[in-house]
Homo-oligomer: A and B are copies of this chain.
Amino acid sequence: YTPYLGSCSSADASMWSFFTTVAGQDGEVDAEELQRCLTQSGITETYSPFSLETCRIMIAMLDKDYTGKMGFSEFKELWAAINAWKHNFLTVDQDRSGSVEHHELSQAIATMGYRLSPQTLNAIVKRYSKNGRIFFDDYVACCVKLRALTEFFRRRDHLQQGCVNFMYEDFLQGTMTI
């Protein structure tokens, strides 16, 4: 039973009370609170619960001020994003195997507008799959990372030439925390 999904009416008020419960005393949601609430909410349904790593990646994606925590607006944004990933995963898993395989990821990434070489795609599949199968948790981690790293790169690619001059410290701050 997931009260905050699929319904837009009066969702904001109940979302707020949900958020305050999850956030606890400090009024912000950290990675462990997020993992607990995702597991309890049943949002992953038959999929296995999200790893702490995926929760951290999702928070890092929204966490512009590097606090490692989410306020209410980020939390809402994340909730919507996870639902979008769920629908996306069902679409991408064309043979209904319950996981995304190499050719399915290749298509999905192309559909999202990325152009990656076969070598890069192979490396990504190796990194996020278990015996060639990418499950929901790792699929989300992979897609969120791909998007966050691409955004990080593009923000510095002022001339949009696909080429960026990075200082070491800037490179490290972006890539260590995503």
Contact = CB atoms under 8 A, between A and B. Distances in A.
A176 B149 contact: yes
A123 B173 contact: yes
A97 interface: no
Secondary structure of the A contact surface, majority rule: helix
A42 to B, nearest CB: 22
Contacts of A51: 51-53
A123 to B, nearest CB: 4
A107 to B, nearest CB: 18
Given A145-B176, A165-B164, A165-B165, A123 B66 contact: yes
Contact of A60 (B67, B127, B175): B127
Interface stretch (A6-14, A77-85, A86-94, A114-122): A114-122
Contact of A153 (B130, B153, B171): B171
A129 B66 CA distance: 13
Given A53-B53, A166-B163, A166-B166, A122 B172 contact: no
B120 A169 contact: yes
Given A51-B52, A149-B171, 12 more contacts: A56-B127, A66-B123, A67-B126, A68-B126, A116-B169, A123-B173, A123-B177, A145-B176, A146-B176, A150-B168, A164-B171, A175-B175
